[in-house]
Structure 1
Amino acid sequence: MTGDPVPPPGAWAARALGRLAADAAPTPLRPLRLPALPELELHVKDESAHPTGSIKHRLLREQFRAAVEDGALAGGTPVVMGSGGAAAVAGAYFARLVGLPFTAVLPRTAPAAVRARIERYDGRCRIGELPPAAVLEEARALAERTGGHLLDHFAAAAGPPDGPGPLPGLAEEILAGLRGARHPVPEWLVAGAGTGATAASLGHHLRSHRLPTRLAVADPENSAYFPAWASGCADYATGMPSRIPGIGRPRTEPGFRADLIDLVVPVPDAASVAAMRWLHTTAGLACGPATGTALWAACHLAARLRSEGARGGLVLVAGDGAEPYRTTHLDPGWLAAKGLDPAPYEALLERFARTGEWAWPRPAD
């Protein structure tokens, strides 16, 4: 016989669960100063500090844990995903962590940087032949042919209707980090929505613990979530892809729990880029465009609180880091080609931090 001996199933599962548990370190909660609003505290829950740089890391770790515990994953099981973004990167990371082969079926539009990051974690990439929206079905077929296990992070994000959501610990970490702050129970939590998992987990915690904190979802252009929430139409679809990776969807995903959300704030894509850049230059936090979307919404809510004469805290979830976007959202040429001009929105943010004045940029004549 050649090769390493295969451990019995129980031993493999115990080892895999131990490695997954060891990965579960809390992420930082960072203060963000707004000089003109001393009565308000703004904090950033920095999920970009995860090893793979996004909040999808937390979701995929939980998905791997559940699959190992229920026996869907065992030693040698091929793992397959249909995704072209941060979720597939996190999937490759955790597959390597527990010693399983990993393949991501990517849409043809997936950036080369995403493929490189998946391969960095020993994952394999296949380019889907069908339209981008169909890569999940291609991944499902591949898993069936190879005897593998399909990781569907959108299905996992839905969770049980009345359950705590698929991201246990996120709300607890935020509230634990605020102990000792002037406002340990914030007025608002702000997050983006891709699968809907983050908002659902936060909202369920707030409701089940009867906290007065309100939950806002920041939504980019083309996304179905704002019109779905505003209209009450649970299956609303726009059919248009989001230009802000990781959040916004052309359809309302099962994990989006409108009943747990107090407000959805639509955010222009150029404002998301402006807020991302402003966060880096002002606070030294190199976060991605989805974080910019959440920051813009948080500033909007801070301005509302100020106009009401209220005091309190706000926490935004920074769901992504800046590194994957060096050749896209951080590249002036790419922005110009997409018709995105963040300059007016950056000026608004700078004025807001300095004076507290919040006024939307006037459209060009």
Structure 2
Amino acid sequence: MADMCTDRLWTAEAMRRIQADFNRSADTHLIRVDLPGFKDQHLYLKDESIHPSGSLKHRLARSLYLYGLCNGKIGPETVIVESSSGSTAVSEAYFAKILGLRFIAVVPTGTAKSKLDQIRFYGGETHAVDAPLIYAEAERLAAECGGHYMDQFTYAERATDWRGNNNIAESLFAQLAEEAHPVPDWVVMSAGTGGTSATIGRYIRYRPDLSAKTCLCVADPENSVFYDHFETRDPSLTLKTRSRIEGIGRPRVEASFQPQVIDRMIQVPDAASIATIHWLEGILGRKCGGSTGTNVWAALHIMDEMRQAGRAGSVATLICDGGERYLDTYYNEDWLSAQGLDPSSHLDTISELTR
């Protein structure tokens, strides 16, 4: 009984520390982007890059820790293990440091050095393997050290309270409440685990005032199975290639991806995602990560469809993380050339859409 009470006291303190971090962090900003070519269609970007750990994955990491703590999977000596392309691992390392826990990230070979440096900055360890092996290696490491495998790709869609509790959907729609078009026609979201799109799609259906008007579009990059799975509903689809837009797109259908709550998907060429973040830098005055480009490219095309149909309204999407993590890749001409990515024609397309 004494040991149980000691563990419960530790869990209570862990929950307090996570809640204290939440209280210290103001909600992320919602930015209205005024574009001359879209007088009646308004674009909103929810800036998730301002979280303490620098990305949208801060919300997911917090939810996964709370889920693990409340299910008795995480204790004072638990080693936390995660498979991640970077941003989730950065955020989980951040919370591991708060709780005084050892953290190991199993990352795909070639993950951006800046992300690896951030994981280590928070005291985390990194273990690089070929991309298809990250799941099995994370499970093996967790078993070997008696730790807990967070498994974001399975638990992302169930760890977050999609009904509210200041999740990203509740926050987004609350911030739109005083806008000219407070109920957006579309929310656009790319998918890595599929957890955020599941939360948004469920929340839209949960709110009768939203479900009658708001639709969810998921934007998918090259080298990802999500779009084909959405079209075919075949869960066995796999690819041998890896998405070049870090944090989104998967080579297999993840358990957290919930196609039944998605209204539409758009495939976005990688060069278009890159073009969009370079264009967006001129609009916002700062750099964004590649997945933000995927989101905004799809959002601009939806807005163009609305404009052609003579429909006024709003479209909301996310800034997933900042571009400082990608100075060696998406903002590096040599890397783009080596990858065969030429954003120039897509920049012309954006200019035509927005002028």
TM-score, scaled to structure 2: 0.92
- Aligned mates of 2:81, 2:256 — CA distance in 1: 21
Matched-pair contact (CA < 8 Å) for 2:48–2:54 = yes
Q: Which moved more, 1:335-344 or 1:71-80?
A: 71-80
Q: For 1:299-310, what aligned pairs fall within 5 Å after superposition?
A: 299-310=300-311
Once the two structures are TM-superposed, the CA of residue 176 in structure 1 deviates from its matched residue by 0.7
Contact (CA 8 Å) 2:164, 2:170: kept in 1 or not? no
Residue in structure 1 matched with residue 152 of structure 2 by the alignment:
153
- Unmatched segments (≥5 aa) in structure 1: 1-6, 355-365
The answer as to whether partners of 1:159 and 1:165 remain within 8 angstroms in 2 is no
2:259 alignment counterpart: 258
* Structure 1 position 159, deviation (Å): 2.3
Cα distance between partner residues in 1 of 2:40 and 2:46: 20
Query: What residue number does 2:340 align with?
Result: 339
Q: 1:94 to 1:30 in 2, by over 3 A?
A: same
Asked whether 1:113 is paired with 2:114, we answer yes
Offset of residue 145 of structure 1: 1.8
SS of corresponding position for 1:299: helix
Assess if the C-alpha contact under 8 Å between 1:168 and 1:201 holds in 2.
no
Deviations 1:72-131 (A, max 9, x none): 111122111222311111111110011111112233322322221111001122233xx3
Structure 2 residue 285 is matched with structure 1 residue 287: no
Give 2:7's aligned amino acid.
P
Could you say which residue in structure 2 is the equivalent of 1:17?
15
Query: Which AA in structure 2 matches 1:114?
Result: K
1:137/1:168 CA distance change after superposition, 3 Å: farther
Q: 1:269 & 1:181 partners in 2: Cα distance? A: 32
Report the CA distance shift for 1:317/1:90 in structure 2 as closer, same or farther (over 3 A).
Answer: same
* Mean CA deviation greater in 293-302 or 93-102: 93-102
User: Alpha-carbon deviation of 1:168?
Assistant: 5.9
RMSD (CA atoms): 2.0
Number of aligned positions between the proteins: 345
Q: Read off the aligned partner of 1:172 and give its amino acid letter.
A: E
Mapped contact 1:78–1:148 kept (Cα < 8 A): yes
1:47 lines up with 2:72 in the alignment: no
Contact 1:157 1:195 survives alignment (8 Å): yes
The alpha carbon displacement at 1:156 in A equals 0.9
In structure 1, the residue matched to 2:100 is 99
1:84 maps to what in 2?
A: 85
1:125 is aligned to 126
Q: Hey, what's the Cα distance between the residues in 2 that align with 1:232 and 1:139?
A: 27
Question: How far apart, in 2, do the equivalents of 1:333 and 1:351 lie?
Answer: 27
How high is the sequence identity, in percent, across the aligned residues? 38
**Larger proportion of helix:** 2
Q: Partner amino acid for 2:173?
A: L
The match for 1:141 is 140
The corresponding residue for 2:277 is 276
> Is the 1:219–1:225 Cα contact (8 Å) retained in structure 2?
yes
Would you say 1:222 and 2:216 are equivalent positions? no
Distance 2:186 2:204 in 1: 11
Aligned to 1:4: none
- d(CA) in 1 for partners of 2:251, 2:128: 21
Match of 2:168 among 167, 170, 175: 170
Partner of 1:238: 239
List per-residue Cα deviations over 1:208-256 (Å, max 9, x = no partner). 2132200000111111111111223233223321110011111111111
2:324 is aligned with 1:323: yes
Alpha carbons of 1:273 and 1:73: their partners in 2 closer, same or farther (altered >3 Å)? same
- Counterpart for residue 359 of structure 1: none
Runs of 5+ unmatched residues, structure 2: none
Return structure 1 stretches of 4+ with deviation > 4 angstroms: 165-168
**Which residue of 2 is the match for residue 70 of structure 1?**
71
Q: Following TM superposition, by how much is the alpha carbon of 1:8 offset from its aligned partner in structure 2, in angstroms? A: 2.5
Name which of structure 1's ranges 185-194 and 53-62 shifts more when overlaid on structure 2: 53-62
Give SS of 1:159's match. helix
Q: In the aligned structure 1, how far is the partner of 2:257 from the partner of 2:340?
A: 29
Alignment partners' CA distance in 2, 1:165 and 1:195? 19
**What secondary structure does 1:30 align onto?**
strand
Whole-Å separation in 1 of the counterparts to 2:20 and 2:36: 39
Letter in 2 for 1:12: W
Counterpart residue identity of residue 346, structure 2: Y
In 2, the alpha carbon distance for the partners of 1:83 and 1:166 equals 26
Partner SS for 2:138: helix
Q: C-alpha separation between the residues in 1 aligned to 2:225 and 2:109?
A: 23
For 2:164 and 2:80, the matched residues in 1 are separated by: 19
Which residue is 1:360 aligned to?
Answer: none
Q: Give the CA deviation at 1:71.
A: 1.7
